[in-house]
Structure 1
């Protein structure tokens, strides 16, 4: 049974901030002797016993002027926005909002186009421009017809009979987004199209091709914010409205089941991911809707999660960083596989290499790709349970590196060629050079051997190891000259090769004294 809407019941049903906005608008309209009407969905919901969350107002004067006067009564906390082309304005107060429109009629030059507006009309002419009879309702709030309930098209009777009926035969042709709105109202209020409207609904999807992607995305946002998302989309799919937006769009069975269990509201990105993640043409559909980048990313991430066939680290690397909306969409569409996959994905995302980059450099790993490969390998081994701490990681690096760390740090570096010295033929000083200290022994502060530096002289049979005077002096001098170099290499500093080093080495290699 329907309730009869009144100004008092409307005021009591609204949230506190919307009630303050309504009171301020009524006072401003009465002060200016302007007729003010509450129209559309708020009256419909109130008659059906549903508390409205906001209210739309229509006024006999200029909507922008009335909105400014309303905001002035509420103080600096209220904000006003205007749309002069359509003679509309909005006033916001915290989370509350009222929309004001000048009483007007509309005419559509072509299907899907925005309407041409004519103002200064009666409330009945204003209601005639709406989409459905259940929305063509008005309640007088100020002016000579205050308290009057206007229902020129039998909307209350249709609401009581649960009928969905359009106002005229060109309703969907003029604005095909009314098909989406009709589905939302039908799902929310339990309405069914009457025969003539059902015939028009069958023909309506072809007009959706003329609607811009921006307006279609706005309708999807409103659908996501409703409390019967699944029922609305099932109705739209049955009416062919999804195919009217894009030929490859239909409601997947998994999505229908998921939304039936979770009626809404949802975020638009989550809803789009649920609708498109399992479809082959998801990119084209998202482009047709001009979906924002964040929504398209959620669709792509959900599709990758659903396509994962195993939980190996190589697979998880490509999935980490997926957003919560994408993960929720994947769980809704394939709960059995996704619960396990996403549990392992979160464990992978919380796994870190036991050694950081600085520790690997100290172990002798060179900067560059090798460093990143080692970090990834240690993380993978730890995730698989093959490593438990830093000590095991260091053993793995040393075993795979096959060289002492102090030696490996400087290995595989070639010396740069010496540039010619200006003003003469004598070779100049070599530049900074990284040597290969293969002959340096670790920890004894000296030299064990210098390969290729000292001459090898055969000794008589039975004679112990001996050095001649010239060889001994060459060896001692070479050790003294290489000692700073040895210290520098142990301290990981680059050094210049001493000029005097060339002469004793050359003399020693010839077997003479320096």
Structure 2
């Protein structure tokens, strides 16, 4: 394993002060092997970002006992020997016993085996995620680069750790697209060579669908989907042009929630129900899509209006009950009759604007009884 001083102090400086204090305390309790901050936290810190999520590998100590000793709420996962500790601010820290893994079935869950810190880094997805900041029990810090991740990080290259990486776990392909879009990374040739392997086992990799759901939570989901297309993996999703359009709305300051992106994806899907089930989307995106496609008025800036502008570009704000009253219809059942008449004309495609609605309403009122006439 290669230690390096380059970037070590900068990475430590980019961690939150309270996280540094917590890590030092844990390292002092973790036995002779100390602990190692690994993965995305080290990567982001080296890029000058302040990581929020912490993944910690424990080379020697009993993970469950170490988690219990914090006095904080935690959940222990016996199958992998991991513990998830909840920090006072509500963030979760994963404590992982150093291990190696094997994949008896491509796409299935890995089988964990005891291992060293070097083994643990080599089981990861990409080289730039296999960096570690090791803390000894005395607090001495060492930046470890097991597989050339620092060079990849400097070159902004995303490289799988071995040739069978995507065959073992196809979800790594989608995770890579998320990272490439968010961090402006380019694919190593080895990554592109493995795309067919990932597509071949995609249907047997449940974690891939979880990663696609996480893609919709990215800062720019359309961009991440575009990376998949550029890598010849666009078949994992239905047409994503609407995601690009929603990205553009975010770029000008519009609030576009996850549910809007999910609704747009459902709209493009040949079988929306099957896609919603695979991505575990729940009911909210489909309900939002139904509202966006309806004639119900919604205020400017709402997800319904944002989606409607994309899905029904010829749509316009329909007359409301208040508008009908302003045109002279007396309060009462006549307002509902007038709105129902306009809704029927809209469904028939006979109205194209609010002016059309006003003209149609006037014609309707001229033929009705006194309870509707101004």
Alpha carbons of 1:379 and 1:229: their partners in 2 closer, same or farther (altered >3 Å)?
closer
Aligned to 2:276: 286
SS in structure 2 opposite 1:206? helix
Aligned to 1:68: 68
Q: Which runs of structure 2 are paired with 1:49-60 in the superposition (5 Å)?
A: 49-60=48-59
Alpha carbons of 1:351 and 1:147: their partners in 2 closer, same or farther (altered >3 Å)?
farther
Match of 1:327 among 292, 300, 305: 305
8 Å Cα contact 1:55/1:98 also seen in 2: yes
Q: Which runs of structure 2 are paired with 1:36-55 in the superposition (5 Å)?
A: 36-55=35-54
Between the aligned partners of 2:24 and 2:144, the Cα distance in structure 1 is 18
Alpha carbons of 1:231 and 1:380: their partners in 2 closer, same or farther (altered >3 Å)?
closer
Aligned to 2:182: 188
SS in structure 1 opposite 2:125? coil
Q: What are the Cα deviations for residues 413-464 of structure 1, in whole angstroms up to 9, with x where unaligned?
A: xxxxxxxxxxxxxxxxxxxxxxxxxxxxxxxxxxxxxxxxxxxxxxxxxxxx
Report the RMSD for the aligned CA atoms in angstroms: 3.6
Q: Which runs of structure 2 are paired with 1:132-281 in the superposition (5 Å)?
A: 132-143=126-137, 146-212=140-206, 215-244=207-236, 249-252=238-241, 254-260=242-248, 262=250, 267-281=257-271
TM-score (norm 1): 0.58
Q: What are the Cα deviations for residues 127-157 of structure 1, in whole angstroms up to 9, with x where unaligned?
A: 0110101101001123379411111110111
Q: What are the Cα deviations for residues 212-247 of structure 1, in whole angstroms up to 9, with x where unaligned?
A: 2xx4453234323333422211011233434246xx
SS in structure 2 opposite 1:140? strand
Higher relative contact order (CA 8 A, sep 6+): 2
Alpha carbons of 1:266 and 1:210: their partners in 2 closer, same or farther (altered >3 Å)?
farther
Alpha carbons of 1:143 and 1:266: their partners in 2 closer, same or farther (altered >3 Å)?
farther
Q: Which runs of structure 2 are paired with 1:301-340 in the superposition (5 Å)?
A: 301-302=291-292, 304-305=293-294, 316=295, 319=296, 324-331=302-309, 333=310, 336-338=313-315
Gaps of 5+ in 1: 73-77, 306-315, 357-372, 388-392, 400-514
Aligned to 2:15: 14
Alpha carbons of 1:378 and 1:266: their partners in 2 closer, same or farther (altered >3 Å)?
closer
Alpha-carbon distance, 1:355 to partner: 4.4
Between the aligned partners of 1:292 and 1:381, the Cα distance in structure 2 is 34
SS in structure 2 opposite 1:396? coil
Match of 2:98 among 84, 96, 103: 103
Alpha carbons of 1:131 and 1:350: their partners in 2 closer, same or farther (altered >3 Å)?
farther
The answer as to 2:116 corresponding to 1:116 is no
Identify which range, 291-300 or 128-137, moves more after superposition. 291-300
Alpha carbons of 1:349 and 1:38: their partners in 2 closer, same or farther (altered >3 Å)?
farther
8 Å Cα contact 1:103/1:122 also seen in 2: yes
Between the aligned partners of 1:39 and 1:295, the Cα distance in structure 2 is 35
Alpha carbons of 1:31 and 1:284: their partners in 2 closer, same or farther (altered >3 Å)?
closer
SS in structure 2 opposite 1:85? coil
Between the aligned partners of 1:348 and 1:177, the Cα distance in structure 2 is 50
Match of 1:91 among 78, 85, 96: 85
8 Å Cα contact 1:39/1:139 also seen in 2: yes
SS in structure 1 opposite 2:57? strand
Alpha carbons of 1:161 and 1:21: their partners in 2 closer, same or farther (altered >3 Å)?
closer
Aligned to 1:362: none
Alpha-carbon distance, 1:187 to partner: 1.7
Aligned to 2:337: 377
Between the aligned partners of 2:244 and 2:211, the Cα distance in structure 1 is 19
Alpha-carbon distance, 1:320 to partner: 5.7
8 Å Cα contact 2:262/2:285 also seen in 1: yes
Between the aligned partners of 1:290 and 1:349, the Cα distance in structure 2 is 40
Between the aligned partners of 1:334 and 1:282, the Cα distance in structure 2 is 16
8 Å Cα contact 2:192/2:231 also seen in 1: no
Between the aligned partners of 1:260 and 1:381, the Cα distance in structure 2 is 36
Identify which range, 257-266 or 268-277, moves more after superposition. 257-266
Aligned to 1:297: 287
* Higher radius of gyration, 1 or 2: 1
